[in-house]
Chains A and B, each alone.
Chain A
Amino acid sequence: MVPALASLRISIERYLARRWSHLENFSIGDIQQIPGGASRETYRLNATFREHGESVQRGLIFRRDPPSSLIDTNRALEYRTYEAVYPTAVPVPEPLILEEAPGELERPFSIMAEMGGCETAIANFNAPPYASLREHIGVQKWSILGSLAAMDPHTLGVTQFMDVPSRANCAQKELDYWAGVISKDALHPQPIAAAAIRWLQRELPPAAEKLSLVHGDYRSGNFLYDTTGKIRGILDWEMAHIGDPLEDLAWSLDPLWGWPEKHLAGGLLPRHRAMQIWQAASGIEIDPEGFRWWQIFASVKALAIWISSTEDFANGTTKEPILAMAGWVMTDRQNRILVDRLAPDSTYQYAEPLA
């Protein structure tokens, strides 16, 4: 084991043995850093202990703030969102510990229950055994998103720790934030992003039909599925907020998540089918005008994240390859998607015409 990893294992073991002092013989047998958590360092841990006279093994996921991150996020907000969603029909891993004191393990962290035997990789959808499960996974994916949209944020309890915009201004609020990220972080002038932002300012959508808890990054790659194709957990709630549920739907359908297959949203289902499933599950009829806006917004928000990653890679202290990947490959693809969608003479090479 790498010395730094061995040392981290011991520190976590000490911390958890103290925190869970009611458990006997607590130990961490193994620790592995895993990819996927772009905004947090993510580790898989195997804990063993005795409880009520029984020997127990439990997988844990330890997520710690890195020195710099893909998305500047609020870890407490994410953790409390997991707590709010966990008792509902939207599947998420069980949140166990949030530690915000940096002194405990160098930087703040959270611990969740591991959902064993699951995958997140999008590439799996192209080959057996998962290729035949695309439809099954896709139906669940947009049904779950629809059921999230149908929930009342007050009943969920997220209004206690999230800002509540008005139905009329939630689009402007999101646009202002992400346009600000581009303005702050772009290392080079961005004429495509600038044109898209001006379009969004001109074409602001009608007021949201309702306000919902918006996941903020609901896409293929951010949910766990098992070998039967059952979706077991929705991950990465770090950009969760209250807003127009059309925002999540539009984000989930961005052509980037199924790249280069523009006809299958998220590499799973035709866009119109995904929209039908979402409508049925949410009880919300999609307003074409508003949805058109949210689809352009989705690409601009993604572009903002990639531009911010570029800046982070260039000027930050964490030289994670995923930051460079986002800054180069993703920025390029997102630019091509936006041009495809906004250019008057578009041939729609990378994206289908807006629904």
Chain B
Amino acid sequence: MIPRPQQALNDLAMKLIGSVAPQTQSVYAASNAGMIAMLLQCLAQEFDRAAAVRTQDIDELIALFESLRDVPPVNLTSRLGTFSHGSAESLRIEHLNVRHAQGMALLIELHAWAETHRAEELDREIWSFLTRHAERHAFHV
């Protein structure tokens, strides 16, 4: 087992960009090697943080749903409650993704409701969450 997969993926990316790409004669192949190296660097970042960023998003969504002062319709409120009391099947990314998608779909509904009902404070809180969410999922390449 390689105990630091993030570093291993970065090292492979460097090997590809530093040793393989310069020796390819085809412009197309060299360009693809460069892109694959960059994608490996993205994968390295994602490998390290995937569970953490999804869990952080989910935790913040639950906090947001539970702190609502503006009251959306019963139908939506009950689904927000169900989500807040649920959990992912396991810590596998596949399962975290399912729960993350459920939370994001509810957020979209809640955001649309906040806009049409002029719930400005909630709208602001949602944008604040989206800003943190976008930063958390950013790739630094």
Binding site for B on A (CB under 8 A): 2, 32-35, 188-192, 194-195, 198, 202, 320-322, 324-325, 328-329, 332-333, 335-336, 339, 342-346
B31 in complex: contacting residue of A35, A194, A339, CB < 8 Å: A35
Contact of B19 with A by CB under 8 A? no
Q: Is the CB of B137 closer than 8 A to any CB of chain A?
A: yes
B91: Cβ under 8 A from any A Cβ: no
Given A189-B108, A328-B39, A344 and B130 contact (CB-CB distance below 8 Å): no
Complex Cα gap A195–B111 (Å): 7
Chain A CB within 8 A of B51 CB: no
Q: In the assembly, what is the distance between CA of A192 and CA of B32, in Å? A: 30
Interface string of B4-30 (1 = CB under 8 A from A): 000000000000000000000011100
Provide the bound-state CA to CA distance between A336 and B131, in Å: 7
Q: What are 18 A-B interface contacts by the 8 Å CB criterion?
A: A33-B28, A34-B28, A190-B104, A191-B107, A191-B111, A202-B115, A321-B32, A324-B35, A325-B35, A329-B141, A332-B134, A333-B138, A336-B134, A336-B138, A339-B127, A339-B134, A343-B130, A345-B124
Q: Which residues of A are found within 8 Å of B28, using beta-carbon distances?
A: 32-35
Q: Chain A contacts of B31 at CB under 8 A?
A: 35
Query: Contact size class for B?
Result: 20 to 34
Q: Does B84 contact A (CB under 8 A)?
A: no
Q: Are A198 and B112 in contact (CB under 8 A)?
A: yes
Secondary structure class of chain B's binding surface, majority of residues: helix
Q: With an 8 A cutoff between CB atoms, is B76 at the interface?
A: no
* Chain A residue with Cβ nearest B137: A332
Residue among A35, A190, A324, A346 facing the most chain B CB atoms (10 A cut-off) = A35
Give Cα distance in the complex from A191 to B110, angstroms.
10
Among residues 100 to 132 in chain B, which have CB atoms less than 8 Å away from a CB atom of chain A?
Answer: 100-101, 104-105, 107-108, 111-112, 115, 123-124, 126-128, 130-131
Quote the shortest CB–CB distance from B102 to chain A (angstroms): 9
The distance from the CB of B22 to the nearest CB of chain A, in whole angstroms, is 16
B127 touches A188 (CB 8 A): no
9 further contact pairs, Cβ within 8 A, besides A32-B26, A328-B39: A188-B97, A189-B101, A191-B104, A195-B126, A198-B112, A335-B134, A336-B134, A342-B127, A343-B130
A339 close to B131 (CB less than 8 A): yes
* Residue contact A198 to B130, C-beta cutoff 8 Å: no
Question: Which residues of the other chain, A, contact B47 by a CB distance below 8 angstroms?
Answer: none
CB of A192 within 8 A of CB of B139, answer no
B127 and chain A: residue at smallest CB distance: A343
Q: Which of B42, B108, B127 contacts A329 (CB 8 A)?
A: B42
Residues from chain B with Cβ under 8 Å of A333 in the complex: 138
CA of A345 to CA of B131, assembled, Å: 10
A335 — which chain B residues lie within 8 A by C-beta? Answer: 134, 137
| Beta-carbon contact of B137 and A35 below 8 Å | no
The distance in angstroms between the C-alpha atoms of A195 and B115, with both chains bound, is 9
Closest 9 CB pairs of A and B: A35-B31, A189-B104, A33-B28, A321-B35, A343-B127, A189-B105, A194-B108, A339-B134, A335-B134
Contacts of B141 in A (CB 8 A): 329
Quick check: B35 and A192 within 8 Å, CB to CB?
Answer: no
Q: How far is the CA of A34 from the CA of B30 in the complex (A)?
A: 10
A residues less than 8 Å from B89 (CB atoms): none
In the complex, the answer to whether B26 meets A191 with C-beta atoms within 8 Å is: no
Known: A191-B104, A194-B111, A198-B112. A321 touches B39 (CB 8 A): yes
Give which listed residue, A33, A194, A344, contacts B124 with CB less than 8 A: A344
